[in-house]
Structure 1
Amino acid sequence: MIKPLSPTDAAARLDELWSPRVLAEVDDAYVKVAKVQGTLAWHSHADEDELFYVLKGALRIELEDGVVELGEGQMCVVPKGVRHNPVAEQECHLLLIERKSTRHTGDEVTGLTRSIDEQRRPL
C-alpha cells in the first residue's frame, strides 16, 4: 500500500549528524533526508548530480568558484564533477535526491562518510 511520507518529520527524527537516510526510491534515484551541522568535506561526484533542498535552517555550499547560500524552502543542484563542501552553521535539515550510485563523500573518505547500507537503515 502506498503511504504518505513527511520528509520534514523524518529529518527531525534523525539522531546523527551528516548521516543521510534513504526515505524513498524513485527509479534509479534515492530520496534522502539528513540532519547536518558543521562541515562535511570537500568532495565531488564524478558521474552524478546532487540535489539539496533545505527543509529547516540554512545551508552554505562552498564551491571552488563561489558559494551558494540556501534558506528554508530553497534548493540547488550541484552538477556532477563539481567540488563542493556543504556547511551548516546551525542545525539544518535537508532533503537530498541522488542517483543510487552516488557515494556519500565521493572519492573522499572521512569519519563522517556513510556507506549506502548505513544510509538504508530504518529511520
Structure 2
Amino acid sequence: MKKVNLAEAFSTFSDYWSPKIAGDVGDFQVKLAKFKGAFDWHHHEREDELFLVVEGCMRMGFRDHFVDLGPGEFIIVPHLVEHRPEALTDECHVMLLEPNTILNTGNIENELTNRNLQRIA
C-alpha cells in the first residue's frame, strides 16, 4: 500500500482528456485527468461516473441544464445521461471514480477515445 500525492501525480502528465489510472478499488478505478476546453457530448450505457475537481473549475453540461464545479466539489453522472464536461478555467484537474469497464468517450468513438489507459500510480 502506498499513498498518492495528487499534485505530484498530476505533474507527471500534460495531455488533456486522457485519463490516467491512479489506483484500483475493486471493479472501479481512480483516474486523474486534465481538462482543457470542452469534451464531446456522450453517455455511458451501463457505467456511472464521479467527477471530483481538484484544481480549477469545470462545467458539467446536460441537455437541459449545467452544473459548475470548483475545487473540492464533485458530481455523479448516472449511466444513460448525456453529458459534456468542460473546463471553465484554462486547465482543470479532475479525479474520476469509474468502473474499470468504462470507455472515456462512452457511446461515441473519435480521436479522444482512449482504450489503453496509462497507469501512473
Match of 1:114? 114
Give how far 1:120 is off. 2.9
1:120 maps to a residue whose letter is Q
Could you tell me whether the CA contact under 8 Å between 2:60 and 2:84 is conserved in 1?
yes
Query: Which one has a larger percent helix, Structure 1 or Structure 2?
Result: 1
2:104 maps to a residue whose letter is H
Could you tell me whether the CA contact under 8 Å between 1:7 and 1:23 is conserved in 2?
no
Mean Cα displacement is larger for which, 76-85 or 11-20?
A: 11-20
Q: Percent identity?
A: 37
Give how far 1:93 is off. 0.2
Mean Cα displacement is larger for which, 97-106 or 6-15?
A: 6-15
- Secondary structure of the 1:39 match is coil
Match of 2:91? 91
| Alignment deviations for residues 32-52 of structure 1 (CA, whole Å, 9 cap, x no partner) | 000110111100011010000
Distance 2:61 2:108 in 1: 16
Question: Quick check: 1:71 aligned with 2:70?
Answer: yes
Q: Structure 2: where are the runs of 5+ without partners?
A: none
- Secondary structure of the 1:38 match is coil
- Secondary structure of the 2:10 match is helix
The normalised TM-score by structure 2 is: 0.93
- RMSD, aligned α-carbons: 1.3
Could you tell me whether the CA contact under 8 Å between 1:45 and 1:80 is conserved in 2?
yes
The normalised TM-score by structure 1 is: 0.92
Query: Which one has a larger percent strand, Structure 1 or Structure 2?
Result: 1
